[in-house]
Structure 1
Amino acid sequence: MLLAGDVGGTKTILALYDGGLEGLPASILREETYPSAGYGSFEDIVKDFLRDQSEPLDAACFGVAGPVVDGRCQTTNLPWLIDERRLMPLLGISKVKLLNDLQAMALGLLWLRSDEWVELNPRAVPATGNRAVIAAGTGLGQAVLYWDGHLYHALATEGGHGDFASNNTMEDGLLVYLRNKFGGHVSYERILSGPGIVNVYEYLRDINYAPESPELAGAINRAEDPAREITTHALHRGDALCRGTLALFARIFGAEAGNLALRCFATGGVLVGGGIAPKILPALQDGHFMQGFCAKGRLSEFLCAVPVRVALNFHTGLIGAADFAARMLLEKS
């Protein structure tokens, strides 16, 4: 019996898996989604999920949005401290593991079927080797799938908090705008995330890139999720200001995906996960993403041959956590 979790700044998903043959996560038995901000601690969510659980657990693994050090994580977008040692007595087992959420997602991406991907690079040349994983959602996550010649190993990073580097006059202005807004350091996460879409929109609005209609302004002000409102007006209503927002977002997203590909020499490809990419797929397919991805000077030719794929499955973090829990069971035998 495996307990897996995908712990994000917006929502937390927990699921029970049947270990199946040889401990592999063969089937999901129960799954629940919780609003993360509605709970004072991760332990409260776990208790709620297990309140009617009678069968004992064998292993548990949770992908957590934040840096994991010595089995502990102070979550980036939540006031939670999650500790493996505190979870062990709560769950009644010693096999408990915290992974960075992108580390778990990277493992989960390895399980996806061919029909759960959309290719972005028509010039790609398939090859083996390391893979880069990048995912925009509540924040910006990055990971590396290191290829040892036989297996992939997921390596955690906090690359989404690296310095944003502008590449043209428009982006120069965005950097200055966000530096003034946040009082100094501007990370890629300030742009490539749900709140980042809003930041890009407000920048373009304030430099008069295109007029903001009163209807749109009112809708954004009333929206529980302003980024979703901006995306809807861009993709379904053709609003010029919102379309410009997604175009700039897509180009910067591609540029940072290209940066990550260079850093880990991702000959095996770039895997784009997270909740935002599938929702703005038309904006990623219209050329801006790949333009940013390939614009790397002397290394442009290399990057233009790297496969780039968007994952359509939203549960890869959960799948990867279950995969790791299963691996812990196999270690036991």
Structure 2
Amino acid sequence: MKILAGDIGGTKTELAIFDVEQPAVPLFSARFLNREQDGFISMLLNYMRELDIPIQAACFAVAGTVRDGWTRMPNLAWELDEREIRIALRIEQVTLINDLAAHAHGMLTLPPEQLMVINPGVPDAHGNLALIAAGTGLGEAILFRDRQGAYQVSASEGGHADYAPNNETEMELLRYLWSRFGHVSWERVVSGSGISNIYDFLSHTGQYSEPVYVTSHILEATDRAAAITQAAQKGESHRCIEALDVFLHNYGAAAGNLALKSLATGGLFIGGGIAPKLAQHINKGGFMRAFNNKGRFSEMMANIPVKLILESKTALLGAAVYATKTTSH
């Protein structure tokens, strides 16, 4: 029995066919840039026509809130509806789930080599888990431990909660972002666009030097966040280095907030596309200092294990796992 799984983000979409007996191993997979597509249904049908493989069920992880089988994605002008997809694919079982929920389901199946330990901590075998993932946006999920010892996944839109600065620089950053966006969420700071926003703020202050060729490259780049990160990693720009430091400090603070609110004594996991590229920077300490900086609860925070997910297809695998669990064999 074959199932179709998808991970639909703000920038790209990944689709793959899986065998229901082996949901961790994609048989055929493809990646699409969303801006190059006429729409999700059109892209989906083109993919299925090319493969010409009959499927019995499908599950799609989407970067948005799913309600009654429908979602409007906040970082992409797409509306997805389970009913429309069922009609297009001519199958009965189609499920949309939040991408962080899918990420969580996939995370539980990963082998140890796909997890990088940032903080070993003292794991509570009966504690909750939490997942935070910065990419195009900022996603969060909580995995509650039930009485039978299984994890129940709950999606969240915590990335859109109010941003909270922790020092004078971040207070000025908040004021700057207020002037641009009105409401400032954590996603405005901890995401790909967040890196660009921090860089723009530092440019506005005029405090950090940068060679003209670096500034020009960043202004012309299709992916400004990647250009800023690259310049920082090469040591080409004090402004970019500071932007990356501010980003990682805020990422750690947001992760700590999630761990505290969910009481994730079993562990906090970092997913998404950005963190694996910054693994060595995360290990330098700024992330964990902000993670632990929770006043009277700092000691508890230091005991929470923190792990970085290295598998880039975790949400896709999670969608396949979820489809398998909910499919009648």
TM range (shorter): over 0.9
Give the corresponding residue for 1:9: 10
Give the corresponding residue for 2:171: 172
Q: How far apart are 1:267 and its partner, in Å?
A: 0.8
Once the two structures are superposed, residues 201-253 of structure 1 have per-residue CA deviations (whole angstroms, 9 ceiling, x without a partner) of 11112212311220111110121111111111111235221111111111110
Q: How far apart are 1:5 and its partner, in Å?
A: 0.2
In 2, are the aligned partners of 1:19 and 1:26 still within 8 Å (CA)? no
Aligned residues, how many? Answer: 326
Give the corresponding residue for 2:160: 161
Q: How far apart are 1:145 and its partner, in Å?
A: 1.1
Aligned with residue 314 of structure 2, among 313, 316, 321: 316
How many angstroms apart in 2 are the aligned matches of 1:261 and 1:139? 19
In 1, are the aligned partners of 2:235 and 2:241 still within 8 Å (CA)? no
1:256 aligns with 2:254: yes
Map 1:1-333 → 2, pairs under 5 A: 1-20=2-21, 24-25=22-23, 27-122=25-120, 124-128=121-125, 129-149=127-147, 150-182=149-181, 184-329=182-327, 332=328
How many angstroms apart in 2 are the aligned matches of 1:100 and 1:26? 19
In 2, are the aligned partners of 1:10 and 1:37 still within 8 Å (CA)? yes
In 1, are the aligned partners of 2:210 and 2:236 still within 8 Å (CA)? no
Q: How far apart are 1:276 and its partner, in Å?
A: 0.3
2:162 alignment partner AA: D
- Aligned residue for 2:308, secondary structure, equals strand
Q: How far apart are 1:119 and its partner, in Å?
A: 1.4
How many angstroms apart in 1 are the aligned matches of 2:165 and 2:43? 40
1:125 alignment partner AA: V
How many angstroms apart in 1 are the aligned matches of 2:32 and 2:69? 23
- Aligned residue for 2:97, secondary structure, equals strand
In 1, are the aligned partners of 2:132 and 2:255 still within 8 Å (CA)? yes
In 1, are the aligned partners of 2:5 and 2:18 still within 8 Å (CA)? yes
- Aligned residue for 2:303, secondary structure, equals coil
2:232 alignment partner AA: A
In 1, are the aligned partners of 2:24 and 2:321 still within 8 Å (CA)? no
How many angstroms apart in 1 are the aligned matches of 2:191 and 2:301? 23
Once the two structures are superposed, residues 33-92 of structure 1 have per-residue CA deviations (whole angstroms, 9 ceiling, x without a partner) of 111122232111111110134442111100001110110010111111100011112122
Instruction: Give me the identity figure in percent.
Output: 43
Give structure 2 stretches of 5+ with no counterpart: none
Q: How far apart are 1:311 and its partner, in Å?
A: 0.6
- Aligned residue for 1:9, secondary structure, equals coil
How many angstroms apart in 2 are the aligned matches of 1:52 and 1:235? 40
Judge which range, 98-107 or 85-94, deviates more: 85-94
Q: How far apart are 1:315 and its partner, in Å?
A: 0.3
- Aligned residue for 1:25, secondary structure, equals strand
In 2, are the aligned partners of 1:57 and 1:92 still within 8 Å (CA)? no
How many angstroms apart in 2 are the aligned matches of 1:133 and 1:84? 26
Give structure 1 stretches of 5+ with no counterpart: none
How many angstroms apart in 1 are the aligned matches of 2:117 and 2:176? 33
In 1, are the aligned partners of 2:214 and 2:236 still within 8 Å (CA)? no
2:171 alignment partner AA: D
Once the two structures are superposed, residues 114-165 of structure 1 have per-residue CA deviations (whole angstroms, 9 ceiling, x without a partner) of 111111125x112222111000000001111111142112111111000000
How many angstroms apart in 1 are the aligned matches of 2:44 and 2:168? 48
Judge which range, 145-154 or 308-317, deviates more: 145-154
- Aligned residue for 1:50, secondary structure, equals helix
Q: How far apart are 1:282 and its partner, in Å?
A: 2.1
1:94 alignment partner AA: E
1:277 alignment partner AA: A
